[in-house]
Structure 1
Amino acid sequence: MWKSLELARSELRLELTLACGQSFRWRETAEGHWTGVMRGRVWTLTQIDNRLWYYVYENHRDFTHRKWTKKDCEPETKHKVHVKAEAHACSDGEKLLNDYFQLNINLEELYKDWGERDAHFKKLAETFSGVRMLRQDPIECLFTFICTSNNHISRIQGMVERLCHTLGNKLCQLDETSYHDFPSLSTLAESNVEACLRGLGFGYRAKFLQQSAKTILDSHGPHWLTGLRNVPYHEARNALRTLSGVGTKVADCVCLMSLDKPEAVPVDTHVWQIAKRDYKFVSCHGQKTITDKLHKDIGDFFRNLWGPYAGWAQSVLFCSDLKKFKNLKQRPAIQNLKREIKCEEDTDKEIVQRKQIKRENTKRKRDN
């Protein structure tokens, strides 16, 4: 059964938030419908006007993908009084969505603040509104981002899918696609995992995944990662960097996207180019590669510019610079062009209609 919650698109746009490289578990399975795994469940999400609709699939059964139709809102319409009376009590699904998308944070207010601080951000804000930071499971986020080293989004998606399909528990099958949960720490720490992942095309990353899982379990315990949510940003980042395959950028991604550290600004060559090109950032040391010092300098620059949620603001710029979204910048012009074409078509139709009426009137006069 489809359920929904009220949510403006300025507060969340699925097509940007789920496809900009934060999470690699979501696919657009139908136009405007996103299906993926979150919190051990399989979901389909879509947005209609100012509502976020969601469908949660049952475990261990076969289904077809559920596409939202107008009929899905009829039960809510028929029982408006009952729904209103129960509005104060969030469903389990709604609680999970609120936590995952951090809906307690007013994104419109943040955009307004960033736009007042930064003229360049303000130019992009309308086209790239609704980009939220996800609050992912720390284990999934960490081991996913270890896979991102020297990689690109589409290839990372394939690697994560193979990882989950091979080592994760099966949740359900939709049409011909099976969905699996993310592997547990104990599974990733097993001695044969490295060889298994090398066979799946993970290369040198296979060793990092197995070693990091083993280090966490042997030295810290299974709840250590989640506990890093309760320590200061720099302490959490330094702790993560003790793990195999975790450098400053990966540590910042995990801090920002799963450990409640909104001030974390992940810096890679892409972000460095944005800093140089759009903000005329020049390192006083003139590095040609990203050192820890340069990473800190760029992060501090953006934190001073955007404030305590600098990591959220940086994700908007990162999203706006991705090739897959370049056509978004052209949409207003395209929409205007379509309106102009439609106006021209309407005008042409009117001319044809007037000529037709004139011919018919002339014919009537002749006949009379």
Structure 2
Amino acid sequence: NYFDFDTDYETIKNTLNTDEIMAEAIKFGEGIRILNQEEWETMVSFMISANNRIPMIKKVIENLSVSFGDYIGNYRGKEYFSFPTAERLSAAPVERILECKAGFRAPRIKEAATRFLYEKDKIYNIKNMSYDEGLAYLKTYKGIGDKVANCILLFSMKHFDTFPVDVWVRRVMQTLYVSKETKDADIRKFAENKFGKYSGFAQQYLFFYARENGIGK
């Protein structure tokens, strides 16, 4: 159920629709869903996202998949490959990962892959941990700080009560909800108190609304 068709999004939207800002954001992003993404792929993808731009993030993931993944097939003239397993990235020389344009993240990716092989049962169980326990554990991995850990928790571990703050979310929150001086940790706390167990869904509606409309740009 990758596309999360079993979740009742009408209930989520009705619960979040408590002010004019959210009402507009929900209407604008009517079809947004949080996908059921695999934990390992999500971990590495967000490690790559740190201090990086979207086109480069996509390119690094594509390079890793071509170099270490399995061939899936050709669609409309483009060849597709699976995301590499932890086994393959753990066995890969750092130099090969560097060739994929991963930069300073290359040794961290290899180290994470090696740890994952021994700790994957715990990783797969984070969805059953408390938010604080899951956050603390993910942050023991090099290259995973608060923002990246919160993204991993939200997008692959069903912790929908978290509210990751990136530059666009910071801008929309400081423009529409809090003062310009409000720190990321306080923005997240404000949002989680306001939006409760559906904070992650609120974050997605606001993120899309801000990006597409240049709010706070």
AA of the residue aligned to 1:188: L
- Where do 1:158-177 residues align within 5 Å? 158-177=59-78
Q: Is the 8 A contact 1:101 1:132 kept in 2?
A: yes
Instruction: Find the aligned partners of 2:195 and 2:117 in 1 and give their Cα distance.
Output: 37
2:4 aligned with 1:102, yes or no? yes
> Which AA in structure 1 matches 2:161?
E
Note the C-alpha offset of 1:175: 3.6
2:187 to 293, 298, 301: 298
Deviations 1:138-181 (CA, angstroms, capped at 9, x unpaired): 00000011010111222211111111111001111224211111
Could you tell me how far apart the structure 1 residues matched to 2:213 and 2:188 are? 25
- Determine the structure 1 residue equivalent to 2:106: 206
Structure 2: gaps (5+ residues) = none
Which whole-Å CA distance do the structure 1 matches of 2:8 and 2:136 have between them? 29
Letter in 2 for 1:299: R
Gaps of 5+ in 1: 1-98, 287-293, 328-368
Q: Kindly tell me: are residues 131 and 233 of structure 1, through their superposed partners in 2, closer, same or farther at Cα, counting changes over 3 Å?
A: same
Aligned partner (choices 238, 243, 250) of residue 136 of structure 2: 238
1:107–1:130 Cα contact (<8 Å) kept: no
Structure 1 residues 280 and 296: alpha-carbon distance in aligned structure 2, compared to 1, 3 A threshold? closer
Q: How does 1:322-337 map to 2 (within 5 A)?
A: 322=211, 325-326=212-213
1:240-293, Cα deviation, whole Å (9 max, x unpaired): 10001101111000100000100111112322222211112465xx6xxxxxxx
- The reply to whether residue 143 of structure 1 matches residue 44 of structure 2 is yes
Give the AA of the match of 2:110: Q
Q: How far apart, CA to CA, are the structure 1 residues paired with 2:9 and 2:179?
A: 26
Deviation, 1:130, is 1.5
Residue identity opposite 2:191 in structure 1: F
How far, CA to CA, are the matches of 1:216 and 1:142 in structure 2? Answer: 10
Query: 1:282 & 1:233 partners in 2: Cα distance?
Result: 27
| Residues 170-220 of structure 1: CA deviation (Å, up to 9, x unaligned) | 11122421111111111111251x2112122111011111111112224x2
- Give the match for residue 37 of structure 1: none
Give runs of aligned pairs for residues 174-253 of structure 1, distance below 5 A.
174-192=75-93, 194-218=94-118, 220=119, 222-253=120-151
How is 1:265-284 mapped onto 2 (pairs within 5 angstroms)? 265-281=163-179
Q: Tell whether the 8 Å contact from 2:131 to 2:159 is kept in structure 1 after alignment.
A: yes
- The one-character-per-residue Cα deviations of 1:294-350 (angstroms, maximum 9, x if unpaired) are 44322221112112110111111101122xx349xxxxxxxxxxxxxxxxxxxxxxx
Aligned counterpart for 1:155 among listed residues 56, 59, 66: 56
Give the partner amino acid of 1:204.
F
Instruction: Verify: 1:311 aligned to 2:205, yes or no.
Output: no
SS of residue paired to 1:178? strand
The equivalent of 1:28 in structure 2 is none
Q: How many residues align?
A: 214
Alignment of 1:63-102 (within 5 A): 99-102=1-4
Distance, in Å, in 2 between the alignment partners of 1:217 and 1:109 is 38
For 1:146 and 1:177, the matched residues in 2 are separated by 26
Q: TM-score, normalised by structure 2?
A: 0.91
Between the aligned partners of 2:49 and 2:171, the Cα distance in structure 1 is: 19
Q: Give the corresponding residue for 1:258.
A: 156
Which structure would you say has the larger Rg?
Answer: 1
Higher relative contact order (CA 8 A, sep 6+): 2
**TM-score, normalised to structure 1's length?**
0.55
Which structure is higher in strand share?
1
Q: Secondary structure at the match of 1:204?
A: helix
Q: Percent identity?
A: 26
Amino acid aligned to 1:184:
T
Please tell me the root mean square deviation across aligned C-alpha atoms, in Å: 1.8
Point out the structure with the larger helix share: 2
